[in-house]
Every structure is written in structure tokens, then in C-alpha cells.
Amino acid sequence: MFGSLGRGKSRRDDIVSSPERQCPMCERVRRLSGERKCAIHVKADSLAAHHSEFDLKSIAGSSPPGVFVGRFGYPNVSVGPMVPSISGDTEILDTPEWWMGKGFDEIVDFRYSLLRGYSKANVSDAQRGGRLVETLQDVAMMTKPVDTELVLARPPRKILDMREDSQPFGPIAPLTSFHAGNSSVDSRIEKAFYDSDLPADDAVLQLYRNGVLVTRIQRAFSLGMFGESKRRKLVPTRWSITAVDSNLSLKLMSRVRHHPLIDEYRVYKYTYLDNIYVGILTPENWKFEWIEAWFEPELLATSFPDVNMAEDVAKSSYVSPKGYRPVMLGDSEGFRGRKTYAKPGGCYYSARLAVSEYLDSISRQAGAIMLREIHPGYIMPVGVWNVRESLRALLKTPFEKFDSMDGALNHVSNIFEIPKHGWIETSALLQSAYFQRKISQFN
């Protein structure tokens, strides 16, 4: 499952044993989507390109700034900086809001450009301090890249994850020491950090309303920089992303519920990285649904673009002309929200944030059904930021107006490969809309 790039090797063929022209996955991707390389070769090319610069036990470079908190072993977790081997303006390397429009090669290159130096910490170290955690908190408050120096216990491991459904991450090594220089501090984050009486949820909302990027809020949140001092804890990066998306969308939803309804059915469309996104807004009280569908051969074991919940997926009755059946996963909530964790995981909350943000910005209330059709050219997951930013872009596009759900969904059928009945099979809100319409015909 994993391949390791040995020292002294630099060519891509030393990482992946089969040449690209013989790779069955490359052939499958090229045949189905026109993409030239599969996920494994895209990762291998980027990993080989950054091979020599991470062969030392001492690394100096400008952190974007970037930090991470691992989740394995919780409450004793890995924590550390993310640093490239170059100096200067490296901010884009860890700012997903700026990645829209980039291809897989560039996104993977951003990921592999960052070395992750790590040390072990207890999640309670956010409140009781410690030199490394305090330095990382200082880094997380900075607005621009900061010069850093890392001394490592051993040369970094450059690991190629051979799974198609894994996100790319750069080399990793245990830290001996970490030093960060000075850079400008974001006074908005600094103020929230030193306000030990301000609840974490309020701090997150305040920063968001003051224009701080969601990614930067998530970064500080993961380092336990908000909330009452005695309750502050480190939060694994993956969890902090979902927590911030969820908390912000809850705050925005509470406002959206008081806005007037839109007065027509709206359909939005957006494509990126061989994903087709469609948003349907309906003239009714707030409700929300997120469904994603991807295509697999009948006999192929299910793999997941951004989730790993096999028990929650469903296969559509539709089969494409090429013999591929959609695998679909979704969840929904009504006017009062939800109490349980959504089946699609973090993507659900990223999508909900984008939609509630848009409705609040136009001072309108609506039902929202967000659909994502993932085609074979989406060769690897790149993170839930992709959903949030793609839906933000989606809701900035011109929309088509309709006077009924049926009219809107008929239009959607002309956009997607999956037919109308395929989406209705999976969608609780579409089933409800069509069921209620049929009942009303008898009144």
C-alpha cells in the first residue's frame, strides 16, 4: 500500500515500479476522462521533484505560515510546523482559498512542498504551554510567511501512499528543535487569543465577520487558541476544519431563518476538477441536503473521493452506457437543524457553510439541495476545502429560474449524467417534495 523513496534515488521510476505507459490505472483514467495520469503517478512525479531538497536533517524556509495537529493517539498527538525548503512568499502553499482553478499537479505540488516536522504533545498543552506549542501559536497569528529553521532527529521520510483515495501530504520527520523569526501579527486573531473569557464559538464568528480567512481560523482553532483559558485544547487539524465549518454555518443559519423567502426555484451550475456541482434553491423555509455521487464498475470495490463510510452509501439503479453505476452518499436536515454527525462527513459541513453564507449575504431564506457528480477525472481527493470553495464559486454564477421543482429538476437532468430518478432515489428532500405534491393533488 505504501512506497518509500530511498535516499540516492531521484527518478519517478524509482518510486513507481511500472512505467506510466503500462499503468492500468493511468489507462483507465485516460480512457474514461481524458486525463493523462492516475493519482499515483501525479503524486510520484511531485514527490520525486522535491526529493533532494528534503534529504537533510536541517531545513530552513519560510512557513506559509502552516501548522498541523495529528489525530492518531489522541489525546497524545503529533504537532508541528509545515515548512518548505524555500524562502520568500510561500503563502499560497497552505491557503486553499487561493487554489481554485488549479489542477491536480499544482495542488499536489503545494502539498509535497511542505515538510511536516513533528513532536508529541498532549491536547491539554494548549492551556499549560510548552515552548513548541507556544511558538506554533505565535506562527498561527502571523499574516505573512515567517522564516523558520527546523532541526530533525533524522532525514524526512518521503512516503508515497499508493491508495487512489488518499490525500497527498509532504515528507515528515521528528523535530529536535524549531525556531521561528518575526512577521506581522494579525491583530484580530491576537485579540481573540488573549481574550480568555470569550467563548470559542464567539471568537470564531467574530474573526469570520472581521474578514479572516476560514483556513486561518481553522489553523488557530486547531492549536487551542480560542475559548476560556482552562478549557482550551489542541484539536486535530481534520476535526478543527469540520468544527469551524459547522459552528460558522450554525451561526449563519440562525440568521437565515429570519430572512424572507426567495420567490422562485433557482438552479446553479459549476464544474471543477471533473466534478459537476448543481445547487437547487427552493422558495421555502430553511432546509439543507448534500449528496455526492461517483461512478464505479459493477465489480470494483467501492472507493470514496472524500469520505470513508461504506455502510452509508447506496448504488443507484442507473447504469451508464460504459457500464458504470453511480455510488451515492448524502444526508439532510430540516428547519431546526440536525443532532447527529452527517453521513458524508466534513464535506457536508463545508457545503452547509457555503450555502448559509450565501443566503445570509443576500438576506434571503430558502431550502437548499446541493448535488455533486464526481467523474473519473477526479483522480484523488484534495480536501473538503474543495467543496466549500467550489460551492462558493457555484453560488456566484448566474442562475436559471423556474416556477416548480419539477421544472428545476428537469433542467438539472440536462446537466448531470445521472438521470432525474437516480437523484430522487437518494434525496430525502426531493422525495418529500414529490410526495407532498402528489398528496396535494387529491385535495
Asked if the structure places residue 303 within a domain, the reply is: yes
pTM here?
0.87
Q: Could you say which of 184, 214, 235 is where a domain stops?
A: 235
What does the block give as the cell for 271? 464544474
Quote the pLDDT of residue 443. Answer: 42
Report how many domains make up the chain: 2
Query: Do 270 and 230 fall within a single domain?
Result: no
Q: DSSP readout, 9-41?
A: --SGGGTSSS-GGG-HHHHHHHHHH--SS-HHH
Q: Which residues of the chain have pLDDT under 50?
A: 1-20, 162, 164-165, 299-302, 304, 307-310, 438-443
| 55 occurs within a structural domain | yes
Choose the final residue of a domain: 217, 235, 253: 235
pLDDT of residue 310: 47
d(Cα 283, Cα 241) in Å, to the nearest integer? 30
**Omega before 65 within 30 of 0, i.e. cis:** yes
Q: Are residues 291 and 336 in the same domain?
A: yes
Rounded to 5°, the CA angle 220-126-75 comes to 105
Cα–Cα distances in angstroms (integers) from residue 348 to residues 142, 242, 243, 258, 362, in the given order? 30, 9, 12, 23, 22
- Same domain (yes/no): 106, 8: yes
Q: Measure the CA–CA gap between 107 and 300, rounded to whole angstroms.
A: 27
Are residue 289 and residue 230 in the same domain, yes or no?
Answer: no
Residue 248 lies in a domain: no
- Whether 253 is covered by a domain: the verdict is no
The answer to whether position 101 is within a domain reads yes
Q: Are residues 318 and 215 in the same domain?
A: no
Peptide bond into 75 cis (omega under 30): yes
* Whether residues 140 and 178 fall in one domain: yes
Q: Are residues 217 and 297 in the same domain?
A: no
Q: Please tell me whether residues 229 and 323 are part of one structural domain.
A: no
Are 220 and 309 within one domain? no
The pLDDT score that the predictor gives to residue 313 is 75
- As a whole number of angstroms, the distance between CA 381 and CA 70 comes to 19
Which pLDDT belongs to residue 157? Answer: 79
Task: Judge if 227 and 275 occupy the same domain.
Answer: no
Is residue 165, in this structure, part of any structural domain at all? Answer: yes
Query: Is residue 146 in a domain?
Result: yes
Same domain flag for 167 and 283: no
Residue 247 lies in a domain: no
pLDDT digit string (tens) for 121-180?
A: 999 999 877 899 999 999 999 999 999 999 999 988 776 654 544 567 788 999 999 999
111 and 204 in a common domain? yes
82: domain range? 2-235
Start-to-end CA distance of the chain, whole Å, equals 60
